[in-house]
Structures are given as C-alpha cells and as structure tokens.
Amino acid sequence: MRMWRSKWNKFGKIALTAVLTGSILAGCAKEEDASGSENGSALGEKAVTLNMMTFSHTNWPYKEDWPIYKFLKEKTNVSFKVQPVMSDYATTMNLAISSGEIPDLMMVNSLKAANTHGSSGAFVNFFEHLDKMPNYKKFLEEHPDVKAAILSPDGKNYFMPLYGLEQQSRRSWLFRDDVFKKHGLTPPTTYDELYTVSKKLKELYPGSYPIAVFNGLSPLLNMAPGFGTESEYYYDYDKKEWRYGPSENNYKTMVTYMNKFYKEGLVAPDFMAHKRKQFNDLLLQNKAFIASDYIGIMDELPLTLGDKASEFSLDYMIPPVGSPEGKAQNVFSGLQADGFVVSANSKERDLLLAYMDFLFSPEGIELATWGKEGETYTTENGTRKFKADYKGFGDLRTKTGIATVGAHTVLDMKAYESMNSPKMQAAMSKVGKYETKTQPRLAYTNEENEVISMTGEAVKKYKEEQIAKFILGQKSMDEWDAYVAEINKLGVQKVLDVHKAAFERNQKFLNESK
C-alpha cells in the first residue's frame, strides 16, 4: 500500500496549475443540491462563524490572529471560534462528546475514536454526502489507499484525512557528516559497519555515546526493516500474510545488536528514559554522531545553535542492513493519525461540508499551502516564493498558521522545498527510495477492539518488558526461545487473526466500491 508519492506528484501538479475563479464559489449558491446548507444558504453567500476544536502544538501554538484563517474566510465567508487544546487532547475530546456539546468541526486523534463515536451518531458519515462534496469524492477516487485507511468496520467514513504533512515527518537515519569528514570516516551501510565506526567514534570522543536513540523501545520500529522484520504485527506483502515481528529470529538478531551496543557504551545507558531534549543535546554537544529520527531535524537542530550553526551538520544516511533478509529501509508510516470529523447535529452541517470540500479543491489546496499573494508569498517571473520574513517552514507555521492542524486538509509539500537547505532538499529527493510500504491502517469491530485491548495489550506489555531485559543484559539471549513460547501463549495468534479479518473486510469494501 505505497500511498502517496506517485499519485501525490500528479495531484499536486493539478492543484497548482488549476485556477478556479471566485465565480465557482458564487455559483454554489445556485446549486442547492451540491452545497446548500440546511437553512438554504450556500458557501460564500453569507458570513458564518462555527465552532472548532483542534490541537495546539507547543512549537506553533494556536493564535487567534493567524492570517491563514483570514484568507480562508475571505474565500468562503466561514470563520471559526477555535478551542485550541495544548495537552491531553483525548480527554478534552471525550468530555466534549460525552457532554453532547460537540463543536461543529473538530479534530480526532485516531481513526478508532472517529469510528467509535461516529457509529453512535455523533459524527457525519461523509460517504452519505459525496454528491455534495465533488472535490473530496475525486480525491478519494484518485487515492484509493487513502480511502482504505479511513473506513469504519462497516465501510462508512466518519474520519476526514489530512494529507501531505506526513512527508515532513518521515523517519530516516542521519549522521554528523562534519565529524565524519573531520576524521575520514565513512557512513556505515551494515550493522557490523555501524558497530565498527561507532567504536572508532567512542575512541575519538571517550565521553560520547555515538548512536543516539531515545524514547523507550521506539528506535526498534525504524531499525526492524534492516533485519527483514517489523516491531509490531505487520502484513508481509511478499508472502501475503500477517506476522508478528517481535517473535521472529530476525528480530532476535536486531536485539542482539542492541545488547552489544548497550554493553559497549555505544548508546547512552539510560537511552530508554531519554526524551527529545536529551537526544538533541547529545547530537548538539558532540556526544552522539549517528541517529534514527525524523528527517526534518537536519534543518531544525542547527537553528538552535544560532551563530554557531555553521559548526554543526547532519546529513541523510542510507539505512544500514543487519541480516541477509534485511533491506536498506526506513519505516514510512504514511497517513497522519489525526483527522477531521463533523458534528452530525451542527445547524450548518451542509455548509460546513461544502467548506471542507473546498479544502480538497485545487483552489483550497493552493490557499492552504501558500496563503495569499502579497501577504505570505510573492510571484517573480512566474515563480512563487515565500516572503523573506519567514526563516523556514517552522517559522512560517508559527507566524501564519499555514500547515497547522485545523487550517488544511491537503498540502502540496513541494511548495516548501525552497525553504529547506540544499542538503535537506537532496535528502527529500532520495528518501522515498529507502522506505517500507505503508502498513494497512484498519478499522476494528467492538469485539475485535476488545481482543486488541485485552489480549493485545498483554502481549505488548510482556514483549516490552522482555525485550528491554534482553537489551540491558538482564536476560541472556539464550532465553529467547522461552520468551517466544511464552508470548505465543499469551495470544499472538488470536491478535493476528483479528488483523487478518479486519484487513480482508477492508479489501472487500474497497473492491465493492470500485
């Protein structure tokens, strides 16, 4: 299920070359069947203020005066009273739903949440309104893999996806190319080479931990493809079957390497407890030189050094391979976990559906991506570029609200390439060559969710406890077979059967809708 790249290029070009005039929006007023609201008005015909609940990111917290919402209002006559939530979004979201005070438009943090509350009648089933949403309908037709990732267990659609921004969050291996050049080192292509070069860096910088990893066992997610496995349940596209990575021999090989890195001080002794700050500090302070993280830190981390940014450099590294079955691949997770839902009880439901459909139109995508000419970007010799006021993509988001959650559905990420460093641009041009296929994102029935929450959680807890012990040397690798036997007893096959059934159901819905 490779989702986005080939189709995104086609779709992005359409979005940037198609020019829609204001008469299209005005014409909606004459087509009640297409975009009329329950009270007889159409998009752009009257000014309407609706309620919206959305995330507020710590790096670009919501601002009421963000110009992106002004630009959207100018085009659609729709504005929002926004309830931004900085932390514990799930609790705030669930309280709003249980109280019955659901905003007209809100973000949900998972497909499961959308389907759970949507099936109880809280949210609109978009499939029932595709006749009023021609742009959204076309988008789904052109992106069947996106459609596969937004279905409910019974083939409905309560969850409206966000598309494009996932490109900035792609996992990759990175290395301090300035340090490597200084010492004549070559980036490793295998885990044996990773071990050798890390030992050399440890000798050169005795107080260092050359491989920077953090946040529990999450680094294993991106390491696993290099060993021909995955760190969770996964669909093997070659064998066309569901498998459980953490019980496979290739996973054992990966854990053995991690244990070796840990014992020899090549990763920090408390790496599992490290969060973003500690990870960043290791790289910035010449205490780590190889990392597996989001590709965007190539440009983001140097900015934190201010005038000393020129003394620090990260570059993209082809993922190392650790076993004969392994591939030089990073994990590509695909579509974002967050998405829009529309309240079924909104008094302006149909008007809001027309607004959301506008965001999927070429004009809506262009506006959400670029903002407004003269205010956020200029055009010179037929070429658009963002104003010099913005130091980078993050600065653009902070100052304008462009590409923040709540202000778009689809973004053309190619628009932001000029804001990236040449090194980042080069990395983004080749990262797609070294990525796994996106794993299916599935919807589960109540009974299946119970299996996942009970049996699945028991398996997950045991796996995390035991894998941590293997890495930290608290358990011998000779005990691996006993671990596999025990985790299978806990119900691995039962959970695999749930994924298999959900996947087959998903494919059946897609085939029937063709």
Is residue 29 situated within a structural domain?
no
Interval 396-437: pLDDT, tens = 999 999 999 999 999 999 999 999 889 999 999 999 999 999
Confidence of residue 28 (pLDDT cuts 50, 70, 90): very low
Is residue 2 situated within a structural domain?
no
Query: 172: phi > 0 → left, psi -120 to 50 → alpha, else beta; which?
Result: beta
Is residue 31 situated within a structural domain?
no
CATH number at residue 222: 3.40.190.10
Return mean pLDDT, the chain. Answer: 90
Residues 53 and 160 in one domain: yes
Residues 186 and 159 in one domain: no
Mean pLDDT of 129-135: 97
Residues 264 and 204 in one domain: yes
Residues 192 and 113 in one domain: no
Residues 217 and 89 in one domain: no
Domain that holds residue 451: 446-513
Mean pLDDT of 332-360: 94
Contacts (Cβ under 8 Å, ≥6 apart) of 408: 162, 164, 165, 359, 365, 368, 369, 402
**Which of 362, 384, 411 finishes a domain?**
411
Q: Domain total for the chain?
A: 3
Identify the pLDDT of residue 318: 97
Phi, psi of 378, deg, nearest 5: -125, 165
Amino acid at 51: N
Whether 14 has a pLDDT exceeding 60, the answer reads no
Question: Cβ-count burial of 219 within 10 angstroms (0-12 exposed, 13-18 middle, 19+ buried)?
Answer: buried
pTM, rounded to two decimals: 0.84
Rounded Cα gap, residues 225 and 246, in angstroms: 12
Rounded Cα gap, residues 471 and 269, in angstroms: 11
Rounded Cα gap, residues 378 and 249, in angstroms: 56
Residues 183 and 304 in one domain: yes
Confidence of residue 100 (pLDDT cuts 50, 70, 90): confident
Residues 150 and 207 in one domain: no
Residues 155 and 182 in one domain: no
Is residue 406 situated within a structural domain?
yes
Is residue 99 situated within a structural domain?
yes
Rounded Cα gap, residues 484 and 23, in angstroms: 64
Identify the pLDDT of residue 41: 56
Residues 217 and 339 in one domain: no
